[in-house]
């Protein structure tokens, strides 16, 4: 009799789990049925994941044939885990998780929300692909040693749980952190540093000695996913004691992560600041001020002096936003943290005598492209205020392009300083820094034109951890246009770099030539941008704004 309320609660909780599962499936179906973009994204994602999971099974099948295949198991399992942690940030718009924030006003216990959202997170394209990959592994290893089948199934379940819980934990922690400016920056720095470190490690691995590889395996064996991979490998060779120890270790880690995650959910649901999403942008005050100044004497008068030219007013305003806007700050940080090591590694490989600005500038484009190719789409909601001042689109584009230059230049500067630190030779530093600034005009000119041709509205308060257009049809199109823009920039920059390489140093003629060429491309890009907007910037602004709604 005393157990009756307990039974009722259990039954209600089971019902809730079913509701969560149906809710997630409904969200998936609605996204696929009602949005062409989501359908395109689902197809692209499914194909990519099918290939990845096939590779996973092939790696496992190959590794189990050799006596020293353990490290490959560890790497395969760890790669799957990292994919689970990284992919959810790219899948916005296709495979939304059930966000605990949306459940905040409902009378649900912390455990119910945790279980429900965990079940929801286990439904989708990525989980389905993971199950297929893990089933492939179970069958492969089961055929090799039928006695280990039960244990391998446990490992597969453990890996799935590790992936789901780990991914939810990271997403919840980063989402909560991203509510404050410092937390957001810390999150960006952490995420970028980790991914940058992993990328550097992958680049360095082929060059590493056998001993270094063995050391990496030893380290991976102590990570949860690596330990699971080795547990599966050990079980196949009937080393069950060792395999059990590894599995228990992972179980403890999963439980700790689950506990931490539920605690984060509770904090997240009771710490959302009011008005966090409804701050009024104050960005156009400078332009408005200029507009007022125009009428300050009762007659419209022309403001004299270059500093008050509309281009520089836009530059001053945009530079403020470069630091204040979450999206742009994140891009700048990612550019420096990811771009700089990339450039540094290439320079070490080239083993060039001088600093490699030749390699640095175009590579830096990769990281600043999100801003320099989208000059009108960022903070688009108040674009109409600027256009309402009567500013020419050419001036607006030029101002925004100049203000975007730090996103292209900063990674090069960081790389140049790192190179100097590594090599202890600073002779080419100043010309290199100057060249990076001057060369930026070329990609910015190309970007100005692209910004008019393919404007891509991004909400100014959008999460730096979410990419709503990744893997969608539109996202693919934008990616293609950006790639073409990048190639055009590289082609346009090539004469300058060829000249610098021929002369063997970055000297004055190179710098002057670069400045002139860069200026021509920048002015041409903004001029063409105005021409292509059909001299109707209002219509262009409306197109961009409609994309934000």
Partner 1 sequence: MERETAVRVAGLRKAYGPRVAVDGVDLIVPRGSFFGVVGPNGAGKTTSLRMITGLLKPDAGTIEIDGINVWENLVEAKARIGVLPDDLRLFERLTGAELLYYVARLRRLDETTARRRTTEVLRAMGLENEATQLVTDYSQGTRKKIALGAAILHVPRVLFLDEPFESVDPVSARLLQDVLQQYRAAGGTVVLSSHVMETVERLCDHVAIVHAGRVVASGPIEEVRLGRSLEQTFLDAVGAREIRLEQLDWLRTLAV
Chain positions contacting partner 1, by CB under 8 A = 12, 15-16, 19, 22-23, 26-27, 30-31, 34, 96, 99, 101-109, 269-278, 292, 294-300
CB of 431 to partner 1, least distance (A): 45
Nearer to partner 1, 11 or 427 (CB): 11
| CA-based nearest residue to 475, from 41, 35, 30, 10 | 41
CA dihedral 166→169→172→174, nearest 10 degrees, is -80
Nearer to partner 1, 93 or 464 (CB): 93
C-alpha neighbours within 13 Å on the C-beta side of residue 531: 7
Which residue lies nearer to partner 1 by CB, 234 or 264? 264
- Give min distance, CB of 465 to partner 1, in A: 17
Number of CB atoms found within 10 A of residue 409's CB: 21
Nearer to partner 1, 209 or 297 (CB): 297
Write the burial class of residue 383 (CB in 10 Å: 0-12 exposed, 13-18 middle, 19+ buried).
buried
32 or 139: CB nearest partner 1: 32
Residue 73's φ and ψ, nearest 5 degrees, are -60, -45
- Smallest separation (angstroms) from partner 1 to the CB of 536: 24
> Minimal distance in Å, beta carbon 294 to partner 1?
8
| Residue closer to partner 1, measured from CB, 27 or 352 | 27
Q: Which is nearer to partner 1, 47 or 276 (CB)?
A: 276
Contact of 94 with 31, CB cutoff 8 Å: yes
Nearest approach, Cβ of residue 261 and partner 1 (Å):
18
Residues in CB range of 223: below 8 A, 6 or more apart: 74, 78
23 versus 249: smaller Cβ distance to partner 1:
23
Residue 61 or 104 having the CB closest to partner 1? 104
Minimum distance from residue 395 beta carbon to partner 1 (Å): 21
Q: Judge whether 306 and 312 are in contact, CB under 8 Å.
A: yes
**Closest Cα to residue 288, out of 404, 396, 387?**
387
Based on CB atoms, which residue is closest to partner 1, 99 or 185?
99
Q: Rounded to whole angstroms, how far apart are CA atoms 379 and 11?
A: 48
190 exposed, middle or buried (CB, 10 Å; 0-12, 13-18, 19+)? middle
- How near is the Cβ of 430 to partner 1 at its closest, in Å? 42
User: How far apart are CB 28 and partner 1 at their closest, in Å?
Assistant: 9
Cβ pair 432, 506 in contact under 8 A: yes
The DSSP secondary structure of 174-217, one letter per residue, reads HHHHTTSHHHHHHHHHHHHHHHHHHHHHHHHGGGS-HHHHHHHH
In this complex, which beta carbon is closest to partner 1, that of residue 12 or of residue 50?
12
Distances (CA, A) of 459 to 17, 273, 278, 503: 34, 19, 12, 46
For the bound state, the minimum distance from the C-beta of residue 122 to partner 1, rounded and expressed in Å, comes to 18
User: Measured between alpha carbons, how far is 302 from 309 in angstroms, rounded to an integer?
Assistant: 10
Identify the bridge partners of residue 458 per DSSP, sorted by sequence position. Answer: 378
Q: Which helix or strand (DSSP H or E) is residue 76 part of?
A: helix 70-86
- State the minimum distance, in angstroms, from the CB of residue 283 to partner 1: 19
Minimal distance, residue 433 CB to partner 1, in Å: 38
CA 513 to chain centre: 36
Per-position b or e across 429-448, b if 16+ CB within 10 A of its CB? bebbbbbbbbbbbbbbbbbb
């Amino acid at each position: 009799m005393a157990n009756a309320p307990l039974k009722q609660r259990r039954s209600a909780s089971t019902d809730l789990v079913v509701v969560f599962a149906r809710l997630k499936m409904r969200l998936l179906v609605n996204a696929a049925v009602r949005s062409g973009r989501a359908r395109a994204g689902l197809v692209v994602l499914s194909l990519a994941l099918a290939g990845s999971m096939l590779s996973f099974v092939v790696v496992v099948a190959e590794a189990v044939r050799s006596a020293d295949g353990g490290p490959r198991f560890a790497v395969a399992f760890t790669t799957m885990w990292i994919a689970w942690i990284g992919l959810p940030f790219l899948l916005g718009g296709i495979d939304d998780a059930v966000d605990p924030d949306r459940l905040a006003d409902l009378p649900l216990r912390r455990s119910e929300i945790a279980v429900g959202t965990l079940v929801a997170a286990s439904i989708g394209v990525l989980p389905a692909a993971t199950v297929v990959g893990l089933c492939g592994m179970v069958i492969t290893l089961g055929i090799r040693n039928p006695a280990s089948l039960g244990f391998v199934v446990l490992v597969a379940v453990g890996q799935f749980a590790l992936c789901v819980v780990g991914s939810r934990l990271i997403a919840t922690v980063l989402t909560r952190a991203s509510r404050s400016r410092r937390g957001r920056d810390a999150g960006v720095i952490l995420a970028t540093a980790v991914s940058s470190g992993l990328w550097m490690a992958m680049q360095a691995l082929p060059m590493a000695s056998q001993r270094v590889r063995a050391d990496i395996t030893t380290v991976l064996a102590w990570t949860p996913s690596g330990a699971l991979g080795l547990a599966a490998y050990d079980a196949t060779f009937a080393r069950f004691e060792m395999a059990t120890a590894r599995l228990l270790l992972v179980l403890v880690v999963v439980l700790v992560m689950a506990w931490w995650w539920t605690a984060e959910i509770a904090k997240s649901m009771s710490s959302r600041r009011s008005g966090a999403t409804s701050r009024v942008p104050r960005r156009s005050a400078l332009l408005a001020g200029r507009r007022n100044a125009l009428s300050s004497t009762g007659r419209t008068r022309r403001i004299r002096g270059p500093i008050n030219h509309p281009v520089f007013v836009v530059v001053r305003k945009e530079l403020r936003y470069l630091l204040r806007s979450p999206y742009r700050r994140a891009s700048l940080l990612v550019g420096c943290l990811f771009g700089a090591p990339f450039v540094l590694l290439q320079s070490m490989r080239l083993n060039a005598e001088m600093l490699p600005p030749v390699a640095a500038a175009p590579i830096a484009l990769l990281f600043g492209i999100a801003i320099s190719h989208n000059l009108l789409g960022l903070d688009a909601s108040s674009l109409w205020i600027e256009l309402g001042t009567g500013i020419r689109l050419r001036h607006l584009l030029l101002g925004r392009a100049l203000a975007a230059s730090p996103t292209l230049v900063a990674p090069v500067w960081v790389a140049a300083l790192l190179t100097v630190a590594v090599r202890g030779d600073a002779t080419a530093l100043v010309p290199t820094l100057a060249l990076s600034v001057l060369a930026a005009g070329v990609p910015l000119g190309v970007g100005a034109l692209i910004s008019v041709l393919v404007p891509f509205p991004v909400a100014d308060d959008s999460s730096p951890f979410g990419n709503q257009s990744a893997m969608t049809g539109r996202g693919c199109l934008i990616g293609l246009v950006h790639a073409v823009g990048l190639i055009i920039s590289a082609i346009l920059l090539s004469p300058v770099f060829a000249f610098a390489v021929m002369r063997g140093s970055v000297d004055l003629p190179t710098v002057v030539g670069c400045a002139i060429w860069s200026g021509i491309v920048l002015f041409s890009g903004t001029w063409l941008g105005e021409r292509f907007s059909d001299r109707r910037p209002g219509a262009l602004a409306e197109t961009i704004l409609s994309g934000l709604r």
